[in-house]
Structure 1
Amino acid sequence: MEGPDHIETDVLVVGGGINGAGIARDAAGRGLRVVLCEKDDLAAHTSSASSKLIHGGLRYLEHYEFRLVRKALAEREVLLRSAPHIMRPLRFVMPHDSGQRPVWLIRAGLYLYDTLARREFLPGSEAVALRSHAAGEALKDSFTRGFVYSDGWVDDARLVVLNAIAARERGASILTRTACTSLKRDARYWTATLAHAHGSTQVRARCLVNAAGPWAAQLLQSASGARPRRALRLIKGSHIVVPRLFEHDYAYIFQHPDGRIVFAMPYEQEFTLIGTTDLDYEGDLDRVAISEPEIAYLCQLSNRYFKRAIAPADVVWTYSGVRPLVEDDAASAAAATRDFRLAMDASGAPMLTVLGGKITTFRKLAEEAVDRIAPMLGNRSGAWTAAACLPGGDLFGGSPSNRGVVEFGSWLEGVRRRYPWLPQPLATRYARAYGSRIEVLLARRQGMHELGPQIVPGLYAAEAEYLVKYEWATRAADILWRRSKLGLHAGAGSEQLLDEWIAQRTRAA
């Protein structure tokens, strides 16, 4: 019998990163009962520590990962259409010099990148003269020629939250700050103990999905005593954020002489995001942080290309995450495959373990995962997410369309006309974060005074209440660093002020 301390479900998903949230959304949309548990906040680890890109992975062509690149390229426009508020097309500039791969080889690679999958609205690649191109001004004078190609930008943490919202709206239970502490299995069911701040809950599930990311191998071993047939290779990627190094909207991709690829991208209006590193990792998965050599490396790399030099003292923020990649015997971390593998154990109640993956292919991963488990649970519903918007993405109607991407600016102008009392920067941020659900955030509000007090710079009570009510935010860091990046702008002491506000609100409730 179900109750607050006992839940019966079809699928228990362990892990609240992009893969777990995507699988929960897909499965719930096919009519399966779903419970997702996450020991911390949604996207608290790997899924909020990406390079924020929806991309095919140009560099993976060098490692002959044509299948992965084709799959990712096909997903770019599918994802952009589904959530044009948190994703947008982005043009990348690749400076070239004599120490890099020959021009003919780069042209061939970009041609392949342009043609491996169909493009409806992303422009193709082209060669450019940097001395006359907007992106050339910030670069050192030695870089005179380059190439430009298309990919996409994504707010990675919000992408996870939107998938979780979509799952909940289709009936899933999303349990954050809830750890799976024990698992027992018989022929038909998994029995899991989920521990949370108020005690524990027993869940009986017909299927277990192990989407624990870097912890997937640990969960697999604790659940079944087995190790993955192919080990996970844990790779740490780190990024730095510095004051803005250029004024335009292009991003850069640098092919460093050591073989690594590093991006430099416009970030949060006032900053430049630089990364990533690729290092094998064996430390504490709950305490992943950038090292001083990584900071120095990224600064040195930036200084090789940009006129404006930076030093470690210029870094205003850093973040690091551990990517769980399928071990493929690659010599370097950078060369390790970003493709995913789904491992099924049907020796009792079924368990599906997710190994590897990248943020661009999360929807396909989720679709394939549910295609595997649904028939085992007597569910024959077909795949559906390719033709569905994520929450807030239905800017011009209920179905994904190119219009949401190419006409986002006109939709934003409509928001500004409907809410003329909102300062333009705030209207833009709300539109980008919430899309059409800005109407829920601002419902029945007719002036700034109705947003409530400004808790910390840029954050009004109305938005904080929305994030607590609808998006599982329970701590200041959830709001300042994952639901938004206001932490970069709010100043010292903001987290404490916001935590105090959340605590007061919780006591009042």
Structure 2
Amino acid sequence: MALEYDLLVVGGGINGAGIARDAAGRGLRVLLCEQHDLAQHTSSASTKLIHGGLRYLEYYEFKLVRKALQEREVLLRAAPHIIWPLRFVMPHDASQRPAWMIRAGLFLYDTLAKREILPASHGLNLREHAAGQPLKGDYRRGFVYSDGWVDDARLVTLNALDAHERGARILTRTKCVSARRDGERWHAVLESEANGRTQVLEVQARAIVNAAGPWAARFAQGVPGAKKNYGLRLIKGSHIVVKRLFDHPCAYIFQNPDKRIIFAIPYQDDFTLIGTTDLEYHGDAGRVEISGEEVAYLCEMANRYFTRQITAADVVWTYSGVRPLLDDSSENASAVTRDYLLECDAAGAPMLNVWGGKITTYRKLAEEALAMLSSNLGLQDRPWTDGAPLPGGDLQHPGKLVRRYDFDAFLQDVQRRYPWLPAQLAKRYARSYGARLERLIGTATSLAELGEELAPGLYEAEARYLVSTEWARSADDILWRRSKLGLYCQPQHVARLEAWLAQEHAGAAPLQSPQAV
């Protein structure tokens, strides 16, 4: 007999996870299925920014920028462990956009939405500011403004975790192979493979959300009788990571001769992240890789500004993703809108297609999706996520009267409670897990009690937590999506972790959600 749900969400990226969380919090019976790992594709391949999109002002995307700026403040409060303020320095290149235009754009950026956490923009003398030291001498003046940094893959996982703890069922490595409408119900077939076995699960749902990202158009086409009035353009974005190019905490935004911009951002303490490219993509969305030309382009653009020159040989890691953007017929890939469109086919049991979007506006997208489905699903509850912290985001500081999103005060309290944790590990735990790091550490009172160090900085206690609570199944899940410890690993570390996973969890059954801790 098929299991019954109110809502089936297809896709475990940021939009699918956000919709599942919102729906579960309103009391709906929710099932989310993801064909691979959570955030395995687009949602872990962003530039890691919660931002309004300063450059979108040039394309008159004022509505999108305002909505994103409003969400920036909401998310900074909801997850202050994985999202935090970041100052961006823009050296002024007189051969590019004129200074008056930049000042006007920054003024608009500061005032389009209310700011309570982030400081305003202002001009900068690069000869006197620390951010000027790594730059070539030609750059004397610039501007500085604020946005937010995000651990994008963890943002997806925390939304899925919150959904699960509110009653949703989360199935990773589980593909929706078919869906058909039967009056007021959807009948769907899910398939999962684990330990060499294929398991089939039949489900019924009152509504389906197609949040399959780059595969959304293909999924919609495969559903008999489903409407699909819009399409996607797949835009490839690639990034490179090099050893740290500067010591200060600011990021850079560089204007380039082709009118594009790239970012150079402090990354994982020891590195600099540089990106992104914008290229039309027509290949397999699951196998996207950076090209040699993209590496050369990013190095060249960084070398226009930094005194320390880099080449492909300096690149320690790269990642690429495909952004599924709403097809608005723009000739320039960089000009394709980053806004989203929700299309609801309500001829019988509703199916809602998610076209486009950006990580910053995922929560608002989820609210709008539930509003569109509310009459079909009989929803009475009002929107609730705008004031609710994500798991670990409620940073409490006993005995101190501070804002709950004050991470520095929280970290000091962590170091006081766990003096035996090395400073770097304490900071990483606090950043990754926030107020929930106690669940990972448990009753341990020494580093040895966290178990074997399976890879640099990764102890058994954390690996077990990630498997039991956050759906991790492979070394890549742990080293690249739940953390970025892969940057410090050699092949033997990966092999050791894979062996540990195989031994520890050989009996794990497919189509299972982890138990909430």
Which bracket does the TM-score occupy, shorter chain normalised? Answer: over 0.9
Give, in whole Å, the separation in 1 of the partners of 2:397 and 2:338: 34
Give, in whole Å, the separation in 2 of the partners of 1:226 and 1:253: 43
Per the TM alignment, residue 213 of structure 1 is displaced from its structure 2 partner at its CA by: 0.3
2:99 corresponding residue in structure 1: 103
Per the TM alignment, residue 225 of structure 1 is displaced from its structure 2 partner at its CA by: 5.0
2:315 corresponding residue in structure 1: 315
Asked if residue 373 in structure 1 is aligned to residue 369 in structure 2, the reply is: no
Per the TM alignment, residue 402 of structure 1 is displaced from its structure 2 partner at its CA by: 8.7
Select the residue among 170, 174, 178 that pairs with 2:174: 178
Select the residue among 22, 37, 41 that pairs with 1:45: 41
Q: Which amino acid aligns with 2:266?
A: P
Give, in whole Å, the separation in 2 of the partners of 1:404 and 1:134: 30
2:514 corresponding residue in structure 1: none
Per the TM alignment, residue 328 of structure 1 is displaced from its structure 2 partner at its CA by: 1.1
Q: Which amino acid aligns with 1:369?
A: A
Unaligned 5+ segments in structure 1 are none
Asked if residue 57 in structure 1 is aligned to residue 41 in structure 2, the reply is: no
Contact 2:397 2:409 (C-alpha < 8 Å) held by counterparts = no
1:206-242 C-alpha deviation (Å, 9 max, x unpaired): 1000000000000001013556322211100000001
1:116-164 C-alpha deviation (Å, 9 max, x unpaired): 0000020000000101111000010000000000000000000000000
Per the TM alignment, residue 494 of structure 1 is displaced from its structure 2 partner at its CA by: 2.3
Give, in whole Å, the separation in 2 of the partners of 1:499 and 1:121: 42
2:513 corresponding residue in structure 1: none
Give, in whole Å, the separation in 2 of the partners of 1:114 and 1:224: 47
Unaligned 5+ segments in structure 2 are 509-517
What secondary structure is seen at the aligned counterpart in 2 of 1:342? strand
Contact 1:217 1:227 (C-alpha < 8 Å) held by counterparts = no
1:495 corresponding residue in structure 2: 494
1:189 corresponding residue in structure 2: 185
1:91-111 C-alpha deviation (Å, 9 max, x unpaired): 000001211111111100000
2:286 corresponding residue in structure 1: 286
Q: Which amino acid aligns with 1:174?
A: I
Give, in whole Å, the separation in 1 of the partners of 2:504 and 2:387: 39
Contact 1:289 1:320 (C-alpha < 8 Å) held by counterparts = yes
Per the TM alignment, residue 185 of structure 1 is displaced from its structure 2 partner at its CA by: 1.1
Give, in whole Å, the separation in 2 of the partners of 1:309 and 1:128: 24
Give, in whole Å, the separation in 2 of the partners of 1:397 and 1:181: 47
Asked if residue 472 in structure 1 is aligned to residue 471 in structure 2, the reply is: yes
Select the residue among 160, 165, 169 that pairs with 1:164: 160
Give, in whole Å, the separation in 1 of the partners of 2:39 and 2:266: 22
Contact 1:35 1:172 (C-alpha < 8 Å) held by counterparts = yes
Q: TM-score, normalised by structure 2?
A: 0.95
Contact 1:53 1:152 (C-alpha < 8 Å) held by counterparts = yes
Which deviates more, 151-160 or 252-261?
A: 252-261
1:404 corresponding residue in structure 2: 404
1:88 corresponding residue in structure 2: 84
- RMSD of aligned alpha carbons: 1.4
Contact 1:81 1:402 (C-alpha < 8 Å) held by counterparts = no
Identity %: 64
- How many pairs does the alignment contain? 502
Change (3 A) 1:227 1:348: closer
Per the TM alignment, residue 115 of structure 1 is displaced from its structure 2 partner at its CA by: 0.2
1:275-327 C-alpha deviation (Å, 9 max, x unpaired): 00000000011100001100000000010000000001110100000001111
2:445 corresponding residue in structure 1: 446
Per the TM alignment, residue 348 of structure 1 is displaced from its structure 2 partner at its CA by: 2.0
Contact 1:68 1:339 (C-alpha < 8 Å) held by counterparts = yes
Asked if residue 140 in structure 1 is aligned to residue 136 in structure 2, the reply is: yes
Give, in whole Å, the separation in 2 of the partners of 1:377 and 1:472: 28
Asked if residue 340 in structure 1 is aligned to residue 336 in structure 2, the reply is: no
Q: Which amino acid aligns with 2:10?
A: V
Give, in whole Å, the separation in 2 of the partners of 1:160 and 1:273: 20
